[in-house]
Amino acid sequence: MELSQGARRFIIWMFIAIAIVLADQMTKWAIIRWVPLYGSVPINDFINLTHQQNTGAAFSFLAGASGWQRWFFVVLATVVSAVLAVWLWRIRNEGHMLLAGGLTLVLGGALGNLIDRIRLGYVTDFIQVWFGSWAFPSFNVADSAITVGAALLIIDSLFLSGKEKAAPKEAPPES
């Protein structure tokens, strides 16, 4: 049985999401193994590799909560991941490459952080960017994929998706 072009696209998107998960988990494994907790390895004047444990969400939101946030984020990431996978399946034949790319990146990132939350109870963050004496909150490969994916989704929603429906239709030729 031969797969349709749409099914092949969907499989490719899933492989990309899995590649993001693997890259995320391998880099986190290396950090956990070789960088002590709260340790720092300077890469250059503005980037450090560090080893942080984030029990919250972005920017450590809810990190100080009593522990319920772990399972809240597990459920949330599971539901979001399922919705993204279904959405990718539904658009498999439509050729919306920017939309599919954004959804795939967000899916891969969400799954990468989901694995950490289930397995460890927190997300390992390790990339730290400095601007003078100010440090951006540490992040990881999954967070980077989610951020780039979200940017692609915004660009798609502003400039591409729905525009084909809004375009005026040509009048049928008169006989």
Tell me phi and psi for residue 4, to 5 degrees: -70, 165
| Whether residue 104 has pLDDT greater than 90 | yes
* Domain assignment of residue 174, yes or no: no
Active site residue 143: yes
* Domain assignment of residue 171, yes or no: no
Residue 138 DSSP symbol: P
Residue-wise pLDDT tens digits, 49-96: 999 998 866 555 555 555 666 788 889 999 999 999 999 999 999 989
Domain count, the chain: 1
Given the residues 24, 116, 143, 156, the one annotated as active site: 143
- Angle of helix 68-90 relative to helix 97-120, nearest 10 degrees, comes to 150
Residue-wise pLDDT tens digits, 13-34: 999 999 999 999 999 999 999 9
Residue-wise pLDDT tens digits, 107-151: 999 999 999 999 999 999 999 999 988 989 999 999 999 999 999
* Domain assignment of residue 175, yes or no: no
* Domain assignment of residue 173, yes or no: no
* Domain assignment of residue 107, yes or no: yes
Active site residue 125: yes
For residue 74, the enclosing domain spans: 5-160
Given the residues 24, 45, 116, 125, the one annotated as active site: 125
* Domain assignment of residue 165, yes or no: no
* Domain assignment of residue 16, yes or no: yes
* Domain assignment of residue 168, yes or no: no
